[in-house]
Structure 1
Amino acid sequence: MWETSARLLELLSLLQLKRDWTSAELGDRLGVSARTVRADIGKLRSLGYPIDARPGVAGGYRLAAGTTMPPLLLDDDEAVAVAVGLGAVAAWRFGIEETSLTALAKLEQVMPSHLRRRVEAIRETTSIVPGTIPPLDISALGAVATAIRGHERLRFGYTKPGSTQQARHVEPQRLLSWGPFWYLFAWDLDREDWRVFRIDRMTAHPPTGARFRARVIAEEAVVRHVVRRIIEAGWKYRARLLVHAPAATVAAKLVIPIDIEPIDAHTCRVDIGSDDPDALALWLTQLGTDIEVIEGDELRAAFARLTSRFLRAAAGTDAIPTLQPGQVLTINP
């Protein structure tokens, strides 16, 4: 009896390792005949594990998705990774803390002591910076994902900060996760243009049941479009720069998707923005090249303030006056 139970657990573990196994392969790994393998497969099916079988010489067995969630077998590293991940989800307040903690409690209850010690060691040596992350509505996220997979049009209410809710009718294309938020990239049927929506600002309406033919767009293009829209929507101050460096070099250093227009092999034009001109000026100094502000009085003033601070720090005195935009200061060594 114990030998049979142990063999069933080993068989289940093998089925979770890869997609397809032949009877001969399983029999060799378990040290039993193909007939015994077929009998063990039947026992696992009776326990609720959905196992598909394909007949023929090239056929075999595979563990499939079923209607219920059967028990899973995890190796040591997988169990530790799942436990740490569940703990992080609960700590980060994604709105599914209770579910995460319940699953974590079940997992730790059956964990060997040496694995529990590994999980506890990770927790004790890890700190999490608190934040104000909004709750994640798993049902809304699931509804959007289902509509994307089924190519089904979506209707929902959408509320932007400081505005009333508006009805939106879209063809959902892709979900993206960035920082604490989830975003939907979709074709807006009323505006006939691509739009980006934050999931936590959406109020779901009943499914439409209307299908659409999905547009073919590269994932990289979707990510770039969404990131640019998110960044630009949040810019309070905007500026245009002439940067004395190749466009490829600037793009590699700025890392965020912004508009960079090559002028020649050694210069480019950059449209950029920020909510904090002083922080933007400091960040741009890390390009390590000459910059001219073509448009953007706020950024010019920020560079002047920054220059004054740098000069005072270098001189070790506060005798150097604060520069005004356009003012030139000459220092004799």
Structure 2
Amino acid sequence: FSNVYLTGLVRDKQGRKMSKSLGNSPEPLGLIEKFGADGVRVGLLLSASAGNDILFDEELCNQGKGFSNKIWNAFKLIKGWEVADIAQPESSKVAIEWYEAKLQQTLAEIEDNFDKYRLSDALMAIYKLVWDDFCSWFLEMIKPGYQQPIDRATFEKAIEMLENNLKLLHPFMPFLTEEIWQHITERTPEQALIVSEWPKAKAFDTKLIADFDFATEVISGIRTIRKDKNIPFKDAMELKVVNNEKASTYFDSVIQKLGNITTLEYVSDKVDGALSYRVKSNEYFIPITGNIDVEAEIAKLTEELNYIKGFLRSVQGKLSNEKFVAGAPEQVIANERKKEADALAKIATLEQSLASLK
């Protein structure tokens, strides 16, 4: 043999070998009835690192069931859209380019894991691709407005990306993926998913993926401000950017769509009277509208600033203690220095926000 794969034992979550006398071996048909066959497969495979024993926990099967529901709901969302022959939005165009690159990056990771017989790692890579990248980001980027149709070019690409996802998932979740595959369009037995062609590996743009990761942090900052200030998503906002990072503007249309930003403007100076946040060295400003109580906001920021300053004093007290520095492990010291740096950056941002409000 050129390759030998040794499987571990399936144990209970306390690490005990399963046996009838202990009564700790689950009934497979009962699990399938409760979580679905694919849910049980995913639950077992997620916990099956190469060659190691599996610590079986029903909660992992429940996670598999949740993943199955997520995939099915994504399919229903796409098929529920009305399609029209209209122009493709810029945000959808760049979303498709990004997801194609992300899928190729994940495909390369999966192939590497398969070569090393790391089936659990391969499944986790697909899990993250489908749950995080496809459902949480891609579908949100291309989703049409309320009661609005989607353009045909984007819809066809969404179906293509869904089908590629199903191909990657099929070895792990054969039943659900084949069912969805047959629902997408009418197919002959020769066109079944199980005999379809595996996606071809292609070159992909790593910078495009990195630029999108930066854009997601910008969007997260907008969402945080909306949440903290109780600003509904339906209320459009402006966004002004001091682009110290010289960050790519390629995903600006996506930032505007997912943040409900009317205008995104690049400026050279800080904006007075605006809420602000940072992503790396970039500064982002959202001008205040009548939705925000300025006095209440000043009080809230002042309270947070005082708390962070107290936290900083505590960290700096540790770092100034020679005995602590001399005796603590290097990793602990590094963590404390990171806390100090993060606190200083947070204080600078809060003081800047307060200055702009006063």
Calculate the TM-score normalised by the size of structure 1. Answer: 0.26
**Which structure is higher in strand share?**
1
Instruction: Normalising by structure 2, report the TM-score.
Output: 0.24
Highest CA radius of gyration, 1 or 2?
A: 1
Higher share in helix: 2
